[in-house]
Structure 1
Amino acid sequence: MNLKRGEKVAKYSTYINLFLTVVKGAVGYISGSISLIADAMHSFSDVFSSLAVYLGLKISQRKPNQRFPYGYYKVETFVSFVVSVLILVAGIEIMYESIKSIINPHTLKYPTIGIVIALLSAIICYILAIYKEKIGKKIGSQALINDGKHSLIDTFSSLIVFIGILSSFFGYEWIEGLAGIIISILIFHMGIELCKADILALLDAGIDPKIINKIKNIAEKVDGVRGAHAIRLRRCGPYIFGEMHLELDPEKTIKDAHKIILKVKDKVKDEIKSVDILTIQTEAFEKNYKIVAVPLKNGEVSGHLGKASHFAIAKIVDNKITKIEMKENPGAKVEKKKGIKAAKFLKSENIDILAIKNPSKNLEFLLPECKIVKAEGSSLEEIIKNAVKAKS
């Protein structure tokens, strides 16, 4: 993730807010607009908000060390919380100013320049808000996203000033206050929601179950993985830290397990860019049943995967056949790579044992997770039972 880009956006946002503070403050003083002066003070608080985001993103990019082995990513989350609190404060401030403007309406000296500056400020803040949220989502920075929402509130604030000065020009001073109260309620609601999300992140609350399910599906598609569970994730700034357990075949060596772990990590990080640290533990896969496949052609056991018209797929529980299904061999329907197609089908059926007329080394390559034995017996049931007892 390019946090450097977010840092740059926050820095320019600080400069823009400082510029707006000076312009609105000066024009408010000249025109006699109390609301424009108040908006200038609001923009001044935004300078510190954007500055905090800038420093937060800058610090969070520091490399992990002995004191902070997981890095400084939480700084970004903490700054995000500070910005959320500032949004709440802005809502209260706008509510206060709005009620005050209803109780004590006032007439402006130079309304025209105030109207122009207020509208210009609203446009600049809106563009800034959209851009900060866009970059924030792109780099996964909640602090920058929240700062973008803060700028959106500044847009509303400037629009209230614009409405107030315009309505005052036509003799309807109370409209500014009413609009301000409505918008302050919306701002307060937004601030509470953002604070709640940041507090949950700081407390390492669980992440969206959809992401957990996605990681589980990615892991279980990797060859050699029989199951994935105990997936726990937490957000740390713009990144996700997690841990999970993988179930592997008992026959797998430590070297095999290490290769599978690396493959799962690469796949997960490739599809979910925000995942930074993923700790994986492995355990032996245990189940109380076996799946046996027997390739058939014209009612007899076939010696080749690709040439078999059907597969008999049997489930064995406690050495007893509980179910036998006949399934068409998709490999028989293609012109080339029949064996490869058939092997993929058997993998999808999660077979444990293949009983075939002519076992070969090539089959061990196509089905590395499967026990391959010679089919022996006078009936299909006998062949299946003998396959379970046989040694590979």
Structure 2
Amino acid sequence: MTDRAQVTAENGRLLRRVTYASLATALLLIGLKTAVWLMSGSVSLLASLTDSLMDAGASLINLLAVGYALTPADKGHRFGHGKAEALAGLAQSAFITLSAGLVLWQGLERLRQPMPLDGAWYGVGVMLFSIIATLLLLRFQNRVIRRTGSTAIRADALHYRSDLLMNTSIIVALILAWYGISGADALFGIGIALFIALGALKIGRDAVQILMDHELPEEVRQEALALARAVPGVMGVHDLRTRESGQQWFIQMHLELPAELPLGQAHALGEQVRLAICERFPQAEVLVHKDPV
């Protein structure tokens, strides 16, 4: 098995595990938050429950999308199926925005018609448990993101990071409401909804960038150029093109080589460049064109 194949296989195993972990965490929190929300009627807790429902939906989308994205290239998709991850991120963005709108509406209604809270301390307990579970999941997700750079998992982790702030604010809201500070629960719920909506816009923007074949980060491009120019015999490099598709990067460039160089030597120099870049970026598929100078 080649180095790139080994990296792809290991990344695939990690991605599947983290999507299962994310879905299981979301389902557990949905059960707990539903029970306590029915007891308390808290808008901020409803916002958190809605967020957990979004987490479960997004994790399910990720599970399906990542599985499809890891499918090997076939005759109909010669560049693979990696953009399914970006489609999952776009679906998450739409789903999250809709849910945030529903929570915002509920918060405004509660401001208009205030209601007392019951069982607020149960809600505090659930939020503390949610924070611990989220921290454990984020630790796993961050390890997978560092290894794979997955767009879908990055979007999922962004959402769970916002959960930490949201869960902390809900604890404050429940305590304030318990001590009779009118409107605190509804106001926190509205603030959380707006925060969720901003996160959804970022997820959607990143997904669109990938679907539109946006270039890889500039530092990656510059390093690829430097690696190519460092190969003895290469006179220059131009027309660098890059893009991302799921777990795979595509890098294309034109090498400037002496016009009198025999074809075999020109090919060998091209292979040195390709291997140097692939060694640095195992997830990359590199295409090198040779131009006589």
Structure having the higher helix fraction is 2
User: Does the pair score TM above 0.5?
Assistant: yes
Give the structure 2 partner of residue 204 of structure 1: 213
Give the structure 1 partner of residue 27 of structure 2: 18
Q: CA RMSD in A?
A: 2.1
Give the structure 2 partner of residue 96 of structure 1: 105
Map Cα deviations across residues 82-110 of structure 1 (whole Å, 9 max, x no partner): 22333333433443333233223222232
**Would you say the 8 A contact 1:244–1:281 is kept in 2?**
yes
Q: Give the 3 Å change call, closer, same or farther, for CA 193–43 of structure 1 in structure 2.
A: closer
C-alpha distance in 1, partners of 2:249/2:84? 14
Paired residue for 2:252, among 240, 243, 246? 243
| Cα distance, 1:52 vs structure 2 | 1.1
**Would you say the 8 A contact 1:246–1:282 is kept in 2?**
yes
Does 2:292 align with 1:284?
yes
| Cα distance, 1:213 vs structure 2 | 1.9
Unaligned 5+ segments in structure 1 are: 286-392
Name the SS of the counterpart of 1:173 in structure 2.
coil
C-alpha distance in 2, partners of 1:260/1:79? 40
Does 2:170 align with 1:161?
yes
Name the SS of the counterpart of 1:20 in structure 2.
helix
Q: Radius of gyration: which is bigger?
A: 1
| Cα distance, 1:21 vs structure 2 | 0.7
**Would you say the 8 A contact 2:215–2:242 is kept in 1?**
yes
Unaligned 5+ segments in structure 2 are: 1-6
Q: Give the 3 Å change call, closer, same or farther, for CA 179–28 of structure 1 in structure 2.
A: closer
The two structures have a TM-score, normalised by structure 2, of 0.88
| Cα distance, 1:252 vs structure 2 | 1.5
| Cα distance, 1:30 vs structure 2 | 3.0
Matches within 5 A, 1:174-213: 174-213=183-222
**Would you say the 8 A contact 1:36–1:161 is kept in 2?**
yes
Does 2:81 align with 1:72?
yes
**Would you say the 8 A contact 2:47–2:192 is kept in 1?**
no
C-alpha distance in 2, partners of 1:60/1:262? 28
C-alpha distance in 2, partners of 1:30/1:229? 65
Paired residue total:
284
Does 2:224 align with 1:215?
yes
Amino acid at match of 2:290: T
Map Cα deviations across residues 158-209 of structure 1 (whole Å, 9 max, x no partner): 3343223211110013123333333433333332222112112101122333
Paired residue for 1:260, among 243, 266, 269? 269
| Structure 1 range deviating more: 98-107 or 60-69 | 98-107
Does 2:79 align with 1:56?
no
Give the structure 2 partner of residue 146 of structure 1: 155
Q: Give the 3 Å change call, closer, same or farther, for CA 251–210 of structure 1 in structure 2.
A: same
C-alpha distance in 2, partners of 1:113/1:194? 32
Give the structure 2 partner of residue 135 of structure 1: 144
Specify which structure has the bigger relative contact order, considering alpha-carbon pairs within 8 angstroms and separated by 6 or more residues.
Answer: 2
The two structures have a TM-score, normalised by structure 1, of 0.67
